Structure 1
Amino acid sequence: MALAPGPAWAEWVAATPMAQAMRDGVWLYPVVEIVHITGFAVLVGAVALFDLRLLGWARALPLRPLAAHLLPWAVASLLLIVPAGLLMFATQPRDFLSNDTFLLKMALLLAAGVNAALFHLGPWRRAADWEVDVATPPGARLHALLSLLLWVGIIACGRLLAYT
């Protein structure tokens, strides 16, 4: 059974020369996927280290300097992840848009972004009060735990895309 045509913009994306090159090249898609996964490893590593600190590990590490160290790594990793993800999406936009696993991954990414924004608008504003050797407030710990769970879900969905 043939799939119904996707949105016009998805069809346009699939017809671009770069999408065609990604589909036709033997090495281009795997290289882009490696870049995407490498970027994800750096991003999730930085996020996990920060979240684990919020959850109480390594309380002797000053929180704000740790964040200042990890943030550039996280931002730089996005410069790998986003373009690589868009390139992979361009190869089969209609298939991705009809894949529940992909849609869940996108929803989890959105939730992770909202969680991070709410953390920075809320508990992070008082981080000076719990900088070193002080228990992180429950609200901040909840954001950290949710962050870790969301990123594990995102990773799982990304991996499951090969099978769904």
Structure 2
Amino acid sequence: MNPLAAPLALDGGALGHLMRSARWLYPIVEIVHIFGFVLLVGSVLMFDLRLLGLNRQLPLTLMSRHLLRWSMASLLLVVPAGLLMFSAHPQDFIGNRVFLLKMTLIMTAGLNAAIFHTGVWRGVAKWDSGQAAPASARAHAALSMLLWLSVIACGRLLAYT
């Protein structure tokens, strides 16, 4: 069975047709997607900047609890909006190298976050406030920033590829 059969079937479906034919639906969904990414990447970047040493007096655990809520809430906007946009032109997206790179970068960013939270983050009590985060935590933060900014660049480049 072709693993692309289900995504490509969206092209002929009612949802894909609606996304292509309703004049303002695609732009509205795209705005929701962008707004969600602002919340997601903004939250991530604020946390990463703190890990890199900005405002060391702010406890990381407190920032994490606060910003994680915003990150999770943003996924309620980003994921459904992204799927709706994908449903409008699945064949175009699946064949687009920039889209595939964007998806790979998102998965890599998620993996980076998972490794960070199951690894170095477990020792945060030692460097929660007033001290520099360990080099490995700073490396995760720098990689996170690079990955998410690259995701944004790919998302923007999709309009031109």
TM-score (norm. length: structure 1):
0.95
Q: 1: CA distance between counterparts of 2:56 and 2:142?
A: 16
Q: Corresponding residue for 2:25? A: 28
Q: Corresponding residue for 2:158? A: 161
Q: For 1:122-164, what per-residue CA distance to the aligned partner results, in whole angstroms no more than 9, with x for missing partners?
A: 1100011101111100000000000000001000000000001
Q: Corresponding residue for 1:128? A: 125
Q: 1:69 aligns with which of 42, 66, 69?
A: 66
User: Per-residue deviation at 1:13?
Assistant: 1.1
Is residue 82 from structure 1 mapped to residue 89 from structure 2 by the alignment? no
- Closer/same/farther in 2, CA of residues 132 and 27 from structure 1, 3 Å limit: same
Q: Which runs of 4+ in 1 moved over 3 A?
A: none
Is residue 108 from structure 1 mapped to residue 105 from structure 2 by the alignment? yes
User: Per-residue deviation at 1:7?
Assistant: 3.3
Q: For 1:102-139, what per-residue CA distance to the aligned partner results, in whole angstroms no more than 9, with x for missing partners?
A: 00000000100000000001110001110111110000
Q: Corresponding residue for 2:35? A: 38
Q: Corresponding residue for 1:139? A: 136
Counterpart code for 1:76? A
Q: 2: CA distance between counterparts of 1:151 and 1:122?
A: 20
RMSD: 1.0
Number of residue pairs matched?
159
Q: For 1:66-95, what per-residue CA distance to the aligned partner results, in whole angstroms no more than 9, with x for missing partners?
A: 100000100000000000000000111111
The sequence identity of aligned pairs, in percent, is 57
Q: 1: CA distance between counterparts of 2:39 and 2:54?
A: 19
Q: 1:97 aligns with which of 80, 94, 104?
A: 94
Secondary structure of 2:159's partner? coil
Q: Which runs of 5+ in 2 are unaligned?
A: none
